[in-house]
């Protein structure tokens, strides 16, 4: 007979080694009770009725409404967080003259826009769009800085022309 030490240091023979009496099958998970070791068909838990499930859902929804922050409101569709009204003062309209579809400003059109067109900016950024390395981030920042510098210079030139 082979003898070996148990995990507690006691010598035991293979015949005396305790075997698990009812091993749990860890690959089975019950979808009814969530416990490991048995299938749903073998579950001894009582299946809740439709009325019980509805009551549980209603209770959970009532608790969610009751515990919602004070700034949340409720209407026939449920809870919502009201947004601040957007008050935008419109100074210019289409009747006031030219509108630029490049920079969204009134007073000039796309052909006379002081800002670089979208395609030019995109073509500058395109090689670095997916580059998240420090070098890629640095290159993107250089392009942004150059565009800001270009816009400042153009604005100051326009100011000098209008004076």
**Over the stretch 5-31, which tens digit does the pLDDT of each residue have?**
655 555 666 555 555 566 666 678 888
147 inside domain: yes
| Domain count of the fold of the chain | 1
| pLDDT surpasses 90 at 54 | yes
141 inside domain: yes
| pLDDT surpasses 90 at 46 | no
- Give the residue-averaged pLDDT of 134-139: 89
pLDDT tens-digit map of 73-125: 888 888 888 888 777 777 777 777 888 888 888 888 888 888 888 888 888 88
146 inside domain: yes
112 to 22, 29, 101, 162: CA distances (angstroms): 84, 69, 11, 16
71 inside domain: no
Tokens (6 digits) for 54 = 């509805």
d(CA 76, CA 98): 45
91 to 84, 88, 105, 159: CA distances (angstroms): 21, 9, 11, 20
DSSP states along 106-152: BSS-GGG-SSPPHHHHHHHHGGGTT--SHHHHHHHHHHHHHHHHHHH
Which position has the token pair 């796309």? 110
68 inside domain: no
Q: Are 110 and 103 in contact (CB under 8 A)?
A: no
82 to 67, 71, 87: CA distances (angstroms): 17, 8, 15
Full domain range(s) for residue 122: 112-162
Per-residue confidence (pLDDT) for residue 22, from 0 to 100? 60
Tokens (6 digits) for 24 = 């749990």
4 inside domain: no
């Amino acid at each position: 007979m082979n003898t070996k030490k148990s995990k507690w240091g006691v010598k035991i023979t293979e015949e005396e080694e305790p075997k698990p009496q009812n091993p749990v099958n860890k690959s089975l998970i019950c979808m009814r009770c969530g416990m490991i070791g048995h299938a749903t068909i073998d579950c001894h838990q009582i299946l809740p009725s439709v009325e019980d499930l509805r009551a549980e859902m209603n209770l959970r929804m009532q608790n969610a409404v009751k515990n919602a922050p004070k700034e949340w409101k409720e209407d026939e569709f449920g809870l919502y967080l009201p947004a601040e009204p957007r008050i935008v003062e419109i100074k210019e309209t289409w009747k006031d003259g030219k509108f630029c579809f490049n920079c969204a400003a009134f007073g000039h059109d796309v052909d006379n826009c002081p800002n670089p067109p979208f395609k030019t900016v995109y073509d500058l950024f395109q090689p670095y769009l997916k580059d998240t390395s420090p070098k890629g981030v640095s290159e993107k920042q250089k392009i942004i800085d150059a565009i800001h510098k270009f816009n400042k210079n153009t604005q100051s030139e326009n100011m000098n022309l209008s004076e």
